[in-house]
Structure 1
């Protein structure tokens, strides 16, 4: 009896102990992947709200360093904070970008030979030098063909000619554009050598005093009005230690009609000279001089990139960066009637798509392995300055930046069956894009106008120059159905004609399902990439390679 009594006594506490442990056992909740639902949640209404707000007159055209910038920054910070994104620059969502604003007095005339060329009508001229007056006085003209020095293409338009202190006259685009069958450069697809930025850079390296590019609509891919509007008014540049003393004193453009007259005054036929320049590297002294005086007002100011980040789980130091530029051209108070360049298509659409994708990542129940970062940059319209500053002063080490996905002037023409890859064939990011497109029953194609050089005309290019694989893709030219085709035909005329014009305004009749479709596409591309261990590479034929 005693033994049994003791055993019973011992058993009771043991049972109680096991019962207590069982009661306190923690049952982990099962976390399910909600990617499909989040993907579907990207909707037209959210996108519409962002575009309509950012392109309203209240934002005054979103010109850097103006009231329009402050309103834009306030809007973006509010959105990213509500989505739970963390500051990407220490405890700040902002990265200061020091700019110098230079405004040329439009009351100027350029004299070349016996020609008097008026500002904005027949020529454009400006200067990046930090001087109140820049004078070009009887500077000898030298025609340097396409103004290219490219050893890898065995091409040098500056060979055997000294242009120091002289004014070079340059053709737009590169030799492959008008002679695609020749095998020169990359045929119809523009290389960086065809961009106006390169032409001024090379003229500066050659020691020229001025560089004048001859505008032609087809090879430039935009009309003279784009040049006149973009190059007049305040022009922004990054503040440099040497006050841009290494730049040509005068950067300018000539209309085609003006160029013909200038060549004629030199006893030359413009088109005959152009034919020679297309065939091989070419230059010749023209025997006439150019003079112009540019009176500048300038001031230094600070604009801001916005950077917001959603930390990853197991590889938080590795970042995928989505970019879009928030700026546009502001307003022109000298214009009659509408004075505001609202920039609805360019680029309120890209910001709207970015915010939609950012919202999607924030709603995932299973957080990505890698960090997702959104960089909304300033001063794209002034030469990709915000993204240039960022890549020269990266807040995230470039060797920890897995890739860049850029959004600029998104598709407002309805859903498409194809996805246009700008700069197709440059990197392995297209593998991810092809997979995401297939999930939408779409296929990827080369952009419609590779000769326009769009790969070198938006913010991803600055990442590419630093070796970071960069993707720029959006809806192509194959509408999803006949109704969309009819709408597209009507609307495309307006969109094209309103590029960098005051008529780039939000329209209630826009079919934004194309932006929705592309935002979903780029969300999936990013989602697949941040949940992998892959580091996409450039293709062997690309001109960009990640530094080792």
Structure 2
């Protein structure tokens, strides 16, 4: 890995010496390898009923693993998983709250009150501690649960929460920009912040009176690390935060009884950009147990080795999630959630990308990984596991180009490169899009948290620049209203059995162009002697950058 230890001066010289990138004849010829019929064949197989919705840990998911492994082999992609194989084992633990849980509120005055589970509050199962018991724990309201002194804002300032239960509102922190708000609103960030301050529990308060508590009847999934302990979770932060739960807006008002400010005053101050943290007069007692179901699932990892002796030990990742939702309650008579667009089309795209790389002579300067991950629908579990325990040295990962639900239902004329504007990857996106005559558009829905809701985010939090390409709004008739069509399609199809190959809507030529764009971006990154860098002052780069 000595090439990664270049001095800052040498890196600067390389940057100054590197010419503007263009699409060379080697890449142009490789583009011809992607075929509409091949994309369709991949989706037809992966979305077939016999795969039963590709739920991790099932035979149907294993059929998908076997299929993509064979396709990578056929494309000349070498194994890059564990022990010389194409797979990386991910031990999944699904946790459920056992019946008999209790939650009791002791107000400042009067008798203790039982809180109704499912109506007033709900518990998150604890994947790392089977029994949770708190007796008469003090409560502290900590606003949004944000601790960011670097942004001159800290809900924990002046509050000692060690051994206490913190109460956090889920109302949006509108005083922050989109990036900061996305990061700090993530439940994982809230829990990690609370654990870092020594809190014994976290209660997430519903933002509105009509908001429903989360339905956790199907449990929550985490991944166990090589040591058998919880290593990856969206709902658990190893440390001192034992209790995690949600409470209704009405319950939040009950917790504030006897406090120096009421909820209206506190929430008004927060909306005005001022912390409103305070100790609450009530105390909380809770007791519940979690039970676990564990299964093995697998990421699939393949490699095309780079041609440059100095750069081949660094890796550009092309990722997509292989899993979907399995079998569920029937919708219009169908109970198999086939996931044709989500994400068989994304997996098909990566397989065709690998075919394009296989045609390159010579291979790109850096090596390329193809990572098909498990457990995305469970909370980005498989990608987070790979990013934390990569099958190559972690420092060698230089970029991730993720593919999730490209939504190939119309001609591809423009794209939204989610995340590219955080780093130098935008340059490769612009070059590739220009070559394919595609327009680049900004994210039309920044408040939808799309950047942190797909597998590229697992790489971002490990310091790796990453992006995810979505369709833009441009249409051939000039109306430029594709978003409206997509919204109608999603309402009918997304996360439903209707997301099927049979009877589905697909534009396979658009799928080829989408795969070609992703390939060109990855190829340009792999060819560039200069490492991708976070933009100066970028929020994610400053927080996570290597």
- Alignment TM-score, normalising by the size of structure 2: 0.80
Give the match's secondary structure for 2:91: strand
Corresponding residue number in structure 2 for 1:7: none
**Deviation per residue, 1:118-142 (Å, 9 max, x gap):** 43x6654223344443345554443
- Tell me the residue number matched to 1:474: 470
Is the alpha carbon distance of 1:393 and 1:424 closer, same or farther for their aligned partners in structure 2, counting shifts above 3 Å? Answer: closer
Deviation at 1:524, TM superposition (A): 1.1
Match of 2:204 in 1: 213
Match of 2:526 in 1: 530
Instruction: Work out which of the residue numbers 290, 300, 305 in structure 2 matches 1:306.
Output: 300
Determine the C-alpha separation between the residues in 2 that align with 1:434 and 1:164. Answer: 49
Residue in structure 2 matched with residue 186 of structure 1 by the alignment: 177
**Separation of aligned partners in 1, 2:168 and 2:286:** 18
CA spacing shift, 1:159–1:75, aligned 2, 3 Å: same
Q: Which residue of 2 aligns with 1:127?
A: 125
2:215 aligned residue: 228
Q: Does 1:79 align with 2:71?
A: yes
* Contact preservation (8 Å) 2:90, 2:223: no
Q: Bigger CA drift: 233-242 or 137-146?
A: 233-242
Q: What is the SS of the residue equivalent to 2:68?
A: helix
Gaps of 5+ in 2: 1-23, 108-112, 231-236
Q: Distance in 2 between matches of 1:470 and 1:79?
A: 25
Three-state SS of the structure 2 residue aligned to 1:190 is helix
Deviation at 1:504, TM superposition (A): 4.3
Secondary structure at the aligned position of 1:534 is classed as coil
Query: 1:156 offset after TM fit, Å?
Result: 1.1
Tell me the residue number matched to 1:495: 490
Asked whether the equivalents of residues 328 and 343 of structure 1 are also in contact (C-alpha less than 8 Å), the reply is yes
Query: Is the 1:173–1:193 Cα contact (8 Å) retained in structure 2?
Result: no
Residue number among 78, 97, 118 corresponding to 1:104 in the alignment:
97
Alignment partner of 1:54 is 2:46: yes
Q: Choose 496-505 or 60-69, whichever is displaced more.
A: 496-505
Q: Which residue of 2 aligns with 1:263?
A: 253
Of residues 241, 245, 253, the one that matches 2:246 is 253
Q: Which residue of 1 aligns with 2:11?
A: none
Rg bigger for which structure?
1
Correspondence for 1:456 among 437, 452, 465:
452
Worse-matched range after superposition: 389-398 or 326-335: 326-335
In 2, Cα distance between the equivalents of 1:252 and 1:514?
A: 44
Q: Deviations over 1:259-289 (max 9, x none)?
A: 1343156447645432212322221234334
- 2:378 aligned partner: 382
Contact 1:129 1:249 in 2 (8 A): no
Moved more, 261-270 or 419-428: 261-270
Q: 1:539 offset after TM fit, Å? A: 0.6
Higher mean C-alpha displacement, 474-483 vs 76-85: 474-483
Distance in 1 between the 2:86 and 2:388 partners? 18
Q: CA deviation at 1:427?
A: 0.5
Determine the C-alpha separation between the residues in 2 that align with 1:335 and 1:246.
41
1:174-201 CA distances to partner (integer Å, 9 max, x unpaired)? 52x3xxxxxx432576341121110111
Choose which of 182, 196, 201 in structure 1 pairs with 2:192.
201
Query: How do residues 341-420 of structure 1 correspond to structure 2 at under 5 angstroms?
Result: 341-420=337-416
- Cα distance, 1:155 vs. partner? 1.3
- Indicate which of 512, 515, 518 corresponds to 1:519: 515
- Work out which of the residue numbers 215, 234, 237 in structure 1 matches 2:223: 237
Q: Give the paired residue count.
A: 498
Corresponding position: 1:325 with 2:315: no
Task: Show CA shifts across 1:181-239 (max 9, x none).
Answer: xxx4325763411211101111122222322223459xxxxx969x537x733522334
Aligned counterparts of 2:138 and 2:160: Cα–Cα separation in 1: 11
1:318-351 CA distance string (max 9 Å, x none): 3211111212333347999654443333322321
Contact 2:33 2:359 (C-alpha < 8 Å) held by counterparts: no
Query: Do the aligned residues in 1 keep the contact of 2:53 with 2:339 (CA within 8 Å)?
Result: yes
Contact 2:26–2:360 at 8 Å: present in 1 too? yes
Alignment partner of 2:399: what SS?
strand
SS of equivalent residue, structure 2 residue 378: coil
Residues 352 and 108 (structure 1), Cα distance of their counterparts in 2 relative to 1, 3 Å cut? farther
Whole-angstrom CA distance in 1 between matches of 2:99 and 2:405: 30
Question: Which structure 1 residue ranges, 5 or more long, are not aligned?
Answer: 1-31, 178-183, 218-222
3-state DSSP of counterpart to 1:376: strand
User: Contact 2:86/2:302 (CA < 8 Å) preserved in 1?
Assistant: yes
- Residue 342 of structure 2 aligns to a residue whose secondary structure is helix
| Aligned partners of 1:146 and 1:171 also within 8 Å | yes
Instruction: Quote the Cα distance in structure 1 between the aligned partners of 2:359 and 2:351.
Output: 12
- Deviation at residue 92 of structure 1 after TM alignment: 0.6
Question: 1:100-155, CA deviations, whole angstroms, 9 ceiling, x for partnerless residues?
Answer: 33233477575557574443x66542233444433455544432111011121111
Paired residues of 1:460 and 1:470 also in contact (CA < 8 A): yes
1:345–1:409 CA contact under 8 A, matched in 2: yes
How has the CA–CA distance of structure 1 residues 330 and 201 changed in structure 2, closer, same or farther, with 3 Å as cutoff?
farther
Distance 1:484 1:443 in 2: 12
Residues 401 and 98 of structure 1: CA distance in aligned 2, closer, same or farther (over 3 Å): same
Equivalent in 158, 161, 173 of residue 159 of structure 2: 161
Q: 1:262 to 1:103 in 2, by over 3 A?
A: same
Q: Tell me which residue corresponds to 2:148.
A: 150
* Distance (whole Å) between structure 1 residues aligned to residue 242 and residue 115 of structure 2: 20
The answer to whether the 8 Å contact 1:128/1:247 transfers is no
Cα RMSD between the aligned structures? 3.4
Helix, strand or coil: the match of 2:299? strand
Whether the 8 Å CA contact 2:75–2:355 is kept in 1: the answer is yes
Q: 1:411 to 1:333 in 2, by over 3 A?
A: closer
